[in-house]
Amino acid sequence: MSAARRRDRRVYLSAHPVLFALLAAARRRPAVRLGGTVLVHGSEAYRQVLTRVPLDRSAAGTTGGAGRQLSGGGVLFDQDGGGHRDSRRAVSDGLGAAGVERLRPVWREVLGRRLAPLAAGRTVDLVPVARELAGATVCALLGTDADPSAVAGAAADAAAAAVRDHLPGPRRPGTARAAAQAAARLTSLLGPVGDGRDGDCGEGGDGDGEGGAGLRAMLAVAAVSTTAAALPRAAAWCADAGWWGPAADDRLRPALVSELLRVTAPSPLLPRVAAAGAEAGGCPVRAGDRLLLVARHAALAHSRGPDPYRPAPPAVAQLVFGAGPHACPGARLARAQLDDTLAALAPHRPSVVRARADRAAALPGWRSLTVRAGTVRAGTARAPLEDR
């Protein structure tokens, strides 16, 4: 377990060493103020902010601010009232149980094809596999015939460009222009807002025009950035901690999936801005305060490793997907994709042969994670994903 944790720490320390060192130093208190910023670490304080504190959905430096960069207007994350609810409902319908089952053959085909070299003793880099998987899923969800790898690359670039303008600290010159250019490229690849086909989330609360295009872009960015970060990190944890046994067990794998998502916390830091005075974890919050919600600490990822036999309480594990009206609508999709990825990898019991952290990605992750099949025990062979 210690080897797995040491490897996983590299994705944080390589990308943002000063920021995560600061967050680690402040995590002893549920919430702590540093000037005009409130760092929120505790599980209850984190949940309190997302469910009770009024938040400014359109403020610069928040997810809503990133949404404006992608769309030229407010969509999904920075809307208020009925428009916000309608947009979230449209997304949730596409990512509900029926929607996930409709999309499942798409990423299973990618897994079957891209992981096949493991059976022949060759190595596989899981990062491009995860990106293609995410890109193919997004294209199917949005009803576009764009190239999945191109969409994944553009979404990753847009996410990285946007995050440079939203993390604490000085901004490099030209970050806003770079973010706008990356967003325009992604929007162009995704094509016009949908024509009413099944699975097309371009319609719904935002309708046609810039709002619908922005919603499509935000979905692509969220899906690609989180999937590309989470899947390789989860596989590395399984390889280093020896969790391929539970990964191959249909009864234990759901608990392992939940634990790995809790510990990897694909979106470890949520930037928000308070819209009114409140309190979080005993710390007063003023209107206009910047809130840095540390999902990694709230979910106890820093102190409690993944354990499918003794998983964390669901109320804690769920925090990596937000809470209340700010819960991520893609949680079901994320769990299903990781479940299928672990099921596809488990028969090979792969080990990590090379790993390189990504210093420029929007979310902590690997730039490359190369694995090779290990010893396969008798009786562990499983049917291909498309046959189950």
Give the model's pLDDT for residue 17: 82
Give the model's pLDDT for residue 360: 82
Q: CA–CA separation, 116 vs 150, rounded Å?
A: 22
pLDDT tens-place string over residues 216-267: 788 888 889 899 999 999 999 999 999 999 999 999 999 999 999 999 998 8
Give the model's pLDDT for residue 337: 97
Q: CA–CA separation, 349 vs 4, rounded Å?
A: 15
What predicted TM-score, i.e. pTM, was given to this entire model?
0.85
Give the model's pLDDT for residue 166: 57
Q: CA–CA separation, 376 vs 2, rounded Å?
A: 24
Q: What count of other Cβ atoms lies within 10 Å of the Cβ of residue 90?
A: 22
Which residues, given as ranges, of the chain have pLDDT below 50? Answer: 71-84, 195-209, 376-388
pLDDT tens-place string over residues 329-381: 889 999 999 999 999 999 999 999 999 999 888 889 999 999 999 964 433 33
Homologous superfamily, domain 2-387? Cytochrome P450 (1.10.630.10)
Give the model's pLDDT for residue 282: 92
DSSP string, 4-48: HHHHHHHHHHHH-HHHHHHHHHHTTSSEEEETTEEEE-SHHHHHH
What burial class does residue 122 get, using C-beta atoms within 10 Å of its C-beta: 0-12 exposed, 13-18 middle, 19+ buried?
Answer: exposed
Q: Where are the domains of the chain?
A: 2-387
The label of the residue with tokens 């470890």 reads 268
Give the model's pLDDT for residue 199: 45
Q: What count of other Cβ atoms lies within 10 Å of the Cβ of residue 14?
A: 18
